[in-house]
Amino acid sequence: MKVTPRAEGFGACIEDIDLTRPLADETLAAVKAAWARHSVLWFPDQPLDLDQLEAFTLQLGPFGVDPFIKPMPGRPNVLELRREPDEKATNFGAGWHSDWSFQPEPPAGTLLHAEVVPPVGGDTLYADCYRAYDALSDAMKAMLAPLRAVHSARQAYGPSGVFAKETEARTMQIVVSEEAEQTVAHPLVVTHPVSGRKALFCSPVYTVGIEGMTRPEGMAILRFLFEHIVQDAFVYRHRWAPQMLTLWDNRSTLHFADGGYDGHLRVMHRTTVAGDRPRA
């Protein structure tokens, strides 16, 4: 297996590996180490069918739980992210987030396999929450250290959320629900269970406040952090090719699905790997 990291170490291309078959123990350990070290891995030329995508996911850990979106028929753990050429609804995932961070135990990782890639647009952007944390002053780190951020799915999937207000037809079946109103608090700065590094853990889509603070107080801090995390220096823009797989770490990254491909089909298959309760 060949690992080619980007210059900053954030993101790496993994080649000379066949994900259509179960990995040998040492290869799997090397993939897991690269995942913790580089946060975003991409594997070109992996012609995985859905059974093989599920099997590789399960080599990394049990499936995560995907709420609010109808999974593929007969595949409760696979989401199809599909946008038709004539679709006008905003592309799915077009806001910075870490997957399902409103869950008590958010998914450790997400896998996304490209079936149909548009000729223009449709990139995925990733932000490095490790380096975003490292770049803060000691005074800011000390202020953030004891804080817990409040996460909720309500801005996206709640009865007054973005999807509830949508007027354009969408191929993906989103389930708007009162359950999205629930909140969960996680440390604002988390320690990665494998790398031991600290990362900022908040996003504009799912983080709605800071425990013990008024909304204006909490949002002032959060707005600063949202802008800080997604500045160009910490962002990698991923260009897809058909049959490419990515695996990213939700504990140390945010991601954003870029649009710009109206008139073209885009189809991706997505699974998640279960994670633990984030800890400071």
Does residue 31 bind ligand SIN (CB under 6 A)? no
Question: Nearest-CA neighbor of 91 among 127, 64, 46, 125?
Answer: 125
Does residue 221 bind ligand SIN (CB under 6 A)? no
- List the x/- string, 98-117, binding to ligand SIN by CB under 6 A: --------------x-----
Q: Which tokens go with 41?
A: 């891995």
Which entry of 83, 255, 266, 269 is annotated as an active-site residue? 255
Does residue 278 bind ligand SIN (CB under 6 A)? no
Does 38 participate in catalysis according to the annotation? no
Q: Closest-CB residue for ligand SIN?
A: 93
Dmax (CA) of the chain: 52
Smallest distance from the beta carbon of 214 to ligand SIN, in angstroms?
A: 30
Nearer to ligand SIN, 55 or 94 (CB): 94
Nearer to ligand SIN, 64 or 93 (CB): 93
Smallest distance from the beta carbon of 135 to ligand SIN, in angstroms?
A: 24
Q: Which tokens go with 118?
A: 């548009």
Q: Enumerate residues 228-267 that contact ligand SIN by CB under 6 A.
A: 255, 257
Nearer to ligand SIN, 112 or 230 (CB): 112
Does 258 participate in catalysis according to the annotation? no
Q: Supply the residues annotated as catalytic.
A: 97, 99, 255, 270
Kindly list the residues in this chain that would bind ligand SIN in the complex (CB under 6 A): 81, 92-93, 112, 124, 255, 257, 268, 270
